[in-house]
Chains A and B, each alone.
Chain A
Amino acid sequence: MFDYNFHWRPVLKNLPDLLGAGLLTLQVAVLAMVVGIVIGLALALIRMHMRGPLYWLATGWVELARNTPALFQLFFFGFGLGAFGLHLSPFAIVLCGLSFNCAGYLAENFRGGFQAVPETQLRAARSLGMTAWQAYTRIIIPQVFRIVYHPLTNQLVWAVLMSSLGMLVGFRELSGETQFFASRTFRIFEYFAATAVIYYVIVKIILLASRLLAARLFRY
Chain B
Amino acid sequence: MIEIRGLEKYFGALQVLKGIDLDVAKGEVLSVIGASGSGKSTLLYCINGLEPIQKGSVIVDGTDVHAKGTDINKLRQKLGMVFQQWNSFPHLTALENVALAPKIVKGKSKAEARDIAEKQLRHVGLDDKLNVFPSALSGGQQQRLAIARALAMEPTYMLFDEATSALDPELVGEVLDTMRLLAEEGMTMICVTHEMGFARDVSDRVAYFHQGVMEEIGPPEQIFGNATSGHTRKFLANVR
- Hey, which bits of chain A sit against chain B, CB under 8 A? 118, 120-121, 123-131, 134, 138-139, 142-143, 146, 218-220
Shortest C-beta distance, B136 to chain A (Å), equals 9
Contact status A220-B105, CB under 8 Å: no
Please give the number of chain B residues whose Cβ is less than 8 angstroms from any Cβ of chain A in the complex.
28
Name the CB-closest residue of A to B135. A220
Known: A220-B133, A220-B135. A130 touches B73 (CB 8 A): yes
Known: A120-B85, A130-B104, A138-B104. A146 touches B91 (CB 8 A): yes
Within residues 138 to 183 of chain B, which ones have a CB less than 8 A from any CB in chain A? 146, 149-150, 153
User: In the complex, which residues of chain A have a beta carbon less than 8 angstroms from the beta carbon of B77?
Assistant: 128-129
For residue B203, CB closer than 8 A to chain A, the reply is: no
Contact status A121-B87, CB under 8 Å: yes
For residue B100, CB closer than 8 A to chain A, the reply is: yes
User: In the complex, which residues of chain A have a beta carbon less than 8 angstroms from the beta carbon of B153?
Assistant: 128-129
Candidates A121, A131, A218, A219; contact of B89 at CB < 8 Å: A121
| Given A127-B48, A127-B81, A128-B105, 11 further pairs, Cβ under 8 A | A123-B83, A128-B77, A128-B101, A129-B76, A129-B106, A130-B73, A134-B105, A219-B93, A220-B91, A220-B134, A220-B135
User: In the complex, which residues of chain A have a beta carbon less than 8 angstroms from the beta carbon of B76?
Assistant: 126-129
A17 to B126, CA, bound (A): 60
Number of A-B contacts (CB under 8 A): 66
User: In the complex, which residues of chain B have a beta carbon less than 8 angstroms from the beta carbon of A121?
Assistant: 87, 89
For residue B25, CB closer than 8 A to chain A, the reply is: no
User: In the complex, which residues of chain B have a beta carbon less than 8 angstroms from the beta carbon of A127?
Assistant: 48, 50, 76, 79-81, 83, 150
Known: A123-B50, A134-B104, A219-B133. A129 touches B91 (CB 8 A): no
Identify the interface centre among B89, B100, B135, B153: most chain A CB within 10 Å of its CB: B89
Can you give 11 contacting A-B residue pairs, CB < 8 Å?
Answer: A120-B85, A123-B50, A124-B89, A125-B89, A127-B76, A127-B81, A128-B76, A129-B105, A129-B153, A142-B91, A219-B93
